[in-house]
Chain A
Amino acid sequence: MTDSVLYSVLLLASLGVIASVVLYIVSKKFYVYENPLIAEVEEILPAANCGGCGSPGCKSFADKLVNTEDISDLFCPVGGNDVMKLVAEKLGKTVAEKDPTVAVVRCQGSCEVRPKTTEYQGPRTCAISAMIYSGETDCQYGCLGDGDCVAVCQFDAMYMDEETGLPVVITDKCTSCGACVDACPRDIIEMRPKNKRDLKIYVGCLNEDKGGIAKKACSVACIGCSKCEDVCPKDAITMFNNLAYIDPVLCTLCRKCVPVCPTNSIIETNFPPRKEKPVVKKVESKVAVNVESVKPKTDA
């Protein structure tokens, strides 16, 4: 009886010893050196694994940061300048400072201003409906409203506004990882610089059709009248294919373009109310509603 106990204990013990010796030899022989800096840099990174930097995850981005000489064009949009500064200190390299950006939805085609002309039956994803046809409205450039951008957002920074049928960005939660930009088949979402008070002016439309056709499809469409281009003192507005685009770098946020737009397709966010009433009375109505719907969320 005691023998069998003894034998089994001895056998197990010797097996353990042999296994440990083998494991030791293997681990020495096949040891892979990894720069300990990588782990340390990874520790600094926000661990969101969102892919906003262009690498598949934080670990591989850390690897890239450590192993590239010049890291000035690498940037972690989630961590922003603070994290990049820490990384630079750790590695003794220099990083370029970037203005923080935030996603904006360049479409105001709510159910009210952009009437539906057809009905779509089928899988409700933007990618598939964009493949099949130009959408339920007559605008083939605007938001399809199936929420692919909301589905890919890992930070809960977007939601669909049920009233307008359009996605809304919660500016404080947005890390500008760019997942929504890639997910949108219509390229409606753009990353635009976010200054301290999150003041933004942008054209909320992508319709390249001629004025009349665009206006017929959506009453707040950009009709390509160039009025904003004429009034802009900094030449920040360019017209291309019947569509205005405001360059975020050149724009000084003077707001002169907003009241001249006859269709209210230029959006301003988080500005204090104007002292004088705008010349065009119409500005009050639809854009104001839209801006309001963005505002409370950004302040929240």
Chain B
Amino acid sequence: MLKTFPKGGIHPPENKLTSSKNIKRMPVPKVVYVPISQHIGIPSEIVVNVKDKVEIGQVIAKSGGFVSSNIHSPVAGTVTKLDKIIDTSGYKKQCIVIRTDVKNESNFEEIEYPLKKEIELQPKEILQRINDFGIVGLGGATFPSHVKLNVKEGVKLDCLVINGVECEPYLTADHRLMLEKGEEILVGIKILMHALHIDKAIIGIENNKKDAIEIFKNLTSTEKGIQVAALQVKYPQGGEKQLVRALLKREVPKNGLPLDVGVIVHNVGTIFAIYQAIQHNKPLIERVVTVTGKKVENASNFWVKIGTPISDLITEVGGLPEGTRKIVNGGPMMGKAIKNTDVPVTKGTSGILVISEDEASRGEPKNCIRCGECVSVCPMGLEPHLLMNLTEKGFYEKASNEDIMTCIECGSCSYVCPSHRPLLDYIRFGKNIVKKLETAKN
């Protein structure tokens, strides 16, 4: 019996259409739009001016505080504008617009770095470089990695968990990365183990990616301390609390972090970015994006420069199919529909999903029939129907007492609700208000 988390969870259709498609390199875009707020935390501070010439990998926005991150230029070119454009949040946000220099050859060199196994840097230097090179969690939450790795003295840490679950339907970015860059990821894991002074790591992969499990089993057969664990297929196993529970049977306390139970969780994409930063001095300027959808002609996985407009990606896969209703940034469960195709790819864009008319519409919300489905699927053991009602009526304090803040926004409740109630919309709204009230209190 394969491992999984015990509470709740759902089995949405997987639709991993692109799992056999190699990661292709996107042509370098003519113009990139780099938002200065691509991570959770304080937005970065712009350090370039209009008309400045920038090189690939040059810092163009400096970290604005501890929970923040540097942003590097994805292309060599000229800064043409510092303007506000609509980003994935749906609002106009400050952006650095860089026009690619077509004559500069460094833009078009396709460097295939050779595998480099020796780790030369000291643990402190590794952590510093992760900070300097703008590495953030590439699983979707974009939490700055150096903050996660900043383990205070006296905190017991014994295990590194590598998240290769990719439980979101449709997305195959992590899957392909594991297949194509397995050895590099393994070196990345060793780098982190070296930096954190721990000797145990577990790679969690869902059982629908048997090829990836196979590859890592072979790679780690001679490694001490690194295990590969196949997991049952269940959404939202990629949530870090669920993953830690599934792999190690440790319960992360509510409002706590995996670090409280001695674990740090990192996504395979992040591990690969760390590998490139440490071994090849390459900052986080590109990532793997799955561009998919049932009616998309050439759905595939791409290496995409941060700041590439999503319209470029859509052209690359053969344009918008007829009857497109929604374009979602991310997966179908947790992703968010974007407002127009000028929105740029950011560090958190793991997929672009094109949904057609018949899949996109939400049912008309009806009354709650008290079936309890939402309660039984909630992976955090909450009562979504209750939280929604409390938020709807404005009882935020009560909602806070009912642990609204522990909701991981996986959307399982809205997915199963037979009355099509917008449970997650209200819970998210409630969380926003509760957060505001709490900050006002302090």
Contact = CB atoms under 8 A, between A and B. Distances in A.
A146 to B, nearest CB: 13
B90 A123 contact: no
A222 to B, nearest CB: 16
Given A118-B339, A133-B339, A134-B339, A128 B425 contact: yes
A132 B422 contact: no
B92 interface: yes
Given A117-B340, A121-B362, A134 B425 contact: no
B198 to A, nearest CB: 39
Given A140-B91, A209-B84, 20 more contacts: A117-B340, A118-B339, A121-B362, A122-B362, A122-B425, A123-B365, A123-B422, A123-B426, A127-B429, A128-B428, A128-B429, A131-B432, A133-B89, A133-B90, A133-B91, A133-B339, A134-B86, A134-B90, A134-B339, A209-B92
Contacts of B91: 133-134, 140
A127 B431 CA distance: 13
Contacts of A121: 360-362
Nearest to B388: A123
A132 B362 contact: no
Interface string A114-138: 0001100111000110011110000
B336 interface: yes
25 contacts: A117-B339, A117-B340, A118-B340, A121-B361, A121-B362, A122-B362, A122-B422, A122-B425, A123-B365, A123-B425, A123-B426, A127-B429, A128-B428, A131-B428, A131-B429, A131-B432, A132-B90, A132-B336, A133-B336, A134-B86, A134-B90, A134-B91, A134-B92, A134-B339, A140-B91
A41 B287 CA distance: 67
Contacts of A134: 86, 90-92, 339
Nearest to B432: A131
Nearest to A141: B92
A117 B341 CA distance: 12
Contacts of A118: 339-340
Contacts of A132: 90, 336, 425
Main secondary structure of the interface of A (DSSP, over half): loop
A-B residue pairs, 5 tightest by C-beta: A133-B90, A123-B422, A121-B362, A134-B91, A128-B429
Nearest to B421: A123
A118 B91 CA distance: 13
Contacts of A209: 84, 92
Interface string B87-106: 00111100000000000000
Interface in B331-362: 336, 339-340, 360-362
A133 B327 CA distance: 14
B434 to A, nearest CB: 13
Contacts of B336: 132-133
Interface in B72-125: 84, 86, 89-92
A123 B422 CA distance: 7
Interface size class of B (residues with CB under 8 A): 10 to 19
Interface string B413-438: 00000000010011011001000000
Contacts of B360: 121
A57 to B, nearest CB: 16
Interface in A91-148: 117-118, 121-123, 127-128, 131-134, 140
Contacts of A131: 428-429, 432
Contacts of B86: 134
A133 B336 CA distance: 10
Interface string A148-181: 0000000000000000000000000000000000
A140 B92 contact: yes
B435 to A, nearest CB: 11
A131 B432 CA distance: 9
A196 B429 CA distance: 41
Contacts of A128: 425-426, 428-429
B256 to A, nearest CB: 26
Contacts of A117: 339-340
Interface string A169-213: 000000000000000000000000000000000000000010000
Contacts of B84: 209
A128 B86 CA distance: 18
A128 B388 CA distance: 12
A119 to B, nearest CB: 8
Interface in B174-202: none
A104 to B, nearest CB: 25
A123 B360 CA distance: 15
Contacts of B365: 123
A217 to B, nearest CB: 11
A121 B84 CA distance: 26
Interface string B110-146: 0000000000000000000000000000000000000
Contacts of B340: 117-118
A118 B336 CA distance: 14
A118 B89 CA distance: 15
A122 B362 CA distance: 8
Nearest to B428: A131
Interface in B42-83: none
Residue in B89, B361, B422 with the greatest tally of chain A CB atoms within 10 Å: B422
Nearest to B325: A119
Contacts of B428: 128, 131
Interface in B209-232: none
A121 B422 CA distance: 10
A123 B91 CA distance: 19
A157 B215 CA distance: 68
A131 B91 CA distance: 10
A40 B153 CA distance: 64
Contacts of B92: 134, 140, 209
Contacts of B362: 121-122
A40 to B, nearest CB: 32
A127 B392 CA distance: 11
Contacts of B426: 123, 128
Interface in B371-397: none
